[in-house]
Structure 1
Amino acid sequence: MKRIRFALLSSVAALSITATHAQTTLKFSHTDQQGGSRHAAAEVFAKKVEELTQGRYKVQIFCCSQLGNDPKNIEQLALGGIDFTVSATGSYAPQLPTLNLTMLPFLVDNYQQGWKLYDESKWLKEQFDKAPAKGFRFLSTWEAGFRSMTTKDPLNSPEDAKGKKLRTFPNEMMRWTLESMGFNIQIMPLPEVYLAIQQGAVSGQENPVDTIFSNKFYEVAPNVTLTNHVYSPIPMAISEKTWQKLSPADQKAMTEAAQIAGKFSRQAIADNDEKQLKDMAAKGAKINTKPNVAAFRTAVQPVYGKAREKFGADVDAFLKDAELVRSSVK
């Protein structure tokens, strides 16, 4: 009898220990390479989640489009197939069309202005607040940087862009901007771009410096032109289905971890641009730091008119917030 009782007590103790250490694994999918800052920030987030939830939650990171490209990740997020993703604001536009306006060209001139815009814009907050109804919610804004060009041939002005085929991601505002510069647009998933340039299917692509560097696009399109035509932060989101399963304390922990990772992401990108450009130059890339930006700004003016035709008063509401930021932060 004593043996049976001892065995039962041992079993209960074992179950108690298992319950104490029970861990829920959450999936975080993104399209960046392992050497990119997006992946580094995801690792910071995962570590903080585990720490702030006392090990009850573990975040498993899937990089490099393993589970899908950006549109697929966001679809899966809304369905609850994955728990987290991080992507360019414009990638969320199929679910929230007004977020197309975040891809308007030349909204801000530097990182400090961009951070203030995303942290304080009343219009942006209103758009982000619509996300839970679409199946996900934004926890913080991470950084990718300003988008620039990598092309096979030198690029200094819209004259050099005429007729050239350039890869970009599926976003209406980006298409309008690049077409107004003179490019022919080719949409394709990020993992296919390197080979497409190498084989001549496209003559180049546009992305932030960190993405250009981590994907080594400068190897096949060695002319890196710092047009900085679109500011491209990457809001990080959680599936609303996952969010609703969390206790208020765990919701707070996830949000705090996302914001800590967001600060890390912003600083990493701001610090790395110059170093990465130097590294690319050392490997044979030709860095054009002073293209004719005035000519590009002039070329994209029709984009604002097209945006007003489609989005009406939202355009000027957001442009007003951007103008306030530009005037207050130099």
Structure 2
Amino acid sequence: MERRNILKSLTVAALALTVSGTSAMAETVLRFSHTDNPGGSRDQAANLFAEKVAEYTEGRYSVRVYPAGQLANDPKAIEQLQLGGVDFTVSATGSYATHLPSLNLTAMPFLVDSFEQGWELYDKSEWLQGEFDKLPEKGFRVLSTWEAGFRSFTTSMELNSPADAEGKKMRVYPNDMIRWTMEAIGFQTVVMPITDVYLAIQQGTVNGQENPVDTINSLRFYEVAPFITLTRHVYSPLPLTVAEKTWQGFSDADKEAISKAAAESAAFSRDLVKSSVNSQLEAMEAAGATVSVPEIGPFRDAVASVYDKARGVYGEEVDKLLADAENIRTAMPIN
């Protein structure tokens, strides 16, 4: 009797070990690359996304987050989505324009005036949703839109008006609309990865860069370019994307689970970034930065030519997006 009980116990233990081993082997690790520093808003949202994916897929998938450009800068991470090197990334909409040029139009200046208008644009614009629907054939798809905020300047000199930009060099990422806008303001533009920008400003290769407050704070650009000028010239959210090959490998249940995790991490990101702007500016001022809000009229006037330049390349697509943005601003006026 005792021998039979021992054998039974050993059999049960062996079965448990087998099941456990099968479960461990069944877990698939997915790679998430981004360029935010550890602890930044994108990194926090990425870790929440990873947590929710594991929870909602009941451990069938886990997401390993690689911050600070460990695997790739933004353009290379998007290429790696196509090639299978990474499974997820999150980057400014314009970063994806290399693969779908019409997305350059999302970086047209002064499309929206508030976070809420921006959220409505990205969630409801018929034109923009139609463009996103073209991305799977490029090798990746949008799962949700995270927040970064409105792009503003950090420079090594005061920037009170476009006149101060003359002869100065501004870092830009590979995006025609951003480049045209910077050149219309008066800057000479220098294209470089965001991971190289801090040192380039420090060495005087460029005189500044433009990014949302959250990015300026996270990547500490204010340390080398201490004049923060809040022009809010471009709304710059961050589509979360998945490699199409990875997506097609998911079951319907796991697609639903991962979509749910993407939506929840987007809501978290939007709330975190919007609620953090003032405290981040205060912290940067305390660290020695000078924060100013210039008269916006001269900047708006300077970039007026950008819309016509865009029409020369993208035709009627420009006015489709401008119409969506105008309808949203009208329906959701700033109080």
TM-score (ref. length: structure 2): 0.95
What per-residue deviation string (whole Å, max 9, x for no partner) do you get for residues 134-155 of structure 1? 1011000000100000011110
Q: In structure 2, what is the Cα distance between the partners aligned to 1:281 and 1:91?
A: 30
* SS of structure 1 residue aligned to 2:102: helix
Verify: 1:27 aligned to 2:39, yes or no. no
Which residue does the alignment assign to 2:318? 315
**1:1-330 mapped onto 2 (5 Å cutoff):** 11-21=14-24, 22-289=26-293, 291-330=294-333
* SS of structure 1 residue aligned to 2:199: helix
What per-residue deviation string (whole Å, max 9, x for no partner) do you get for residues 45-103 of structure 1? 01110111111111000000111111100000012211000000000001111100000
* SS of structure 1 residue aligned to 2:58: coil
- AA partner of residue 311 (structure 1): Y
- Contact 1:80-1:240 at 8 Å conserved across structures: no
Q: In structure 2, what is the Cα distance between the partners aligned to 1:238 and 1:57?
A: 14
* SS of structure 2 residue aligned to 1:93: helix
What per-residue deviation string (whole Å, max 9, x for no partner) do you get for residues 188-246 of structure 1? 11121111111111111111001100111111111000010100000000100100110
> What is the CA-CA distance between 1:8 and the residue it aligns to?
6.9
> What is the CA-CA distance between 1:105 and the residue it aligns to?
0.4
Gaps of 5+ in 2: none
- AA partner of residue 332 (structure 2): V
> What is the CA-CA distance between 1:16 and the residue it aligns to?
1.8
Q: In structure 2, what is the Cα distance between the partners aligned to 1:121 and 1:27?
A: 30
- Contact 1:168-1:188 at 8 Å conserved across structures: yes
- AA partner of residue 321 (structure 2): F
Q: In structure 1, what is the Cα distance between the partners aligned to 2:202 and 2:178?
A: 23
- AA partner of residue 272 (structure 2): A
* SS of structure 2 residue aligned to 1:292: coil
- AA partner of residue 137 (structure 2): A
* SS of structure 1 residue aligned to 2:38: coil
> What is the CA-CA distance between 1:14 and the residue it aligns to?
2.1
What per-residue deviation string (whole Å, max 9, x for no partner) do you get for residues 111-137 of structure 1? 010001111100000000001101011
> What is the CA-CA distance between 1:10 and the residue it aligns to?
5.1
> What is the CA-CA distance between 1:182 and the residue it aligns to?
0.1
> What is the CA-CA distance between 1:292 and the residue it aligns to?
2.1
Q: In structure 2, what is the Cα distance between the partners aligned to 1:4 and 1:134?
A: 57
- AA partner of residue 120 (structure 1): K
Q: In structure 1, what is the Cα distance between the partners aligned to 2:235 and 2:70?
A: 26
What per-residue deviation string (whole Å, max 9, x for no partner) do you get for residues 229-276 of structure 1? 100000000100100110000000111101100000001110011000
Change (3 A) 1:189 1:10: same
Gaps of 5+ in 1: none
- AA partner of residue 224 (structure 1): I
- Contact 1:117-1:325 at 8 Å conserved across structures: yes
Bigger drift between 189-198 and 39-48 goes to: 189-198
Query: Between Structure 1 and Structure 2, how many residues are aligned?
Result: 329
> What is the CA-CA distance between 1:13 and the residue it aligns to?
3.8
- AA partner of residue 89 (structure 2): T
RMSD: 1.6
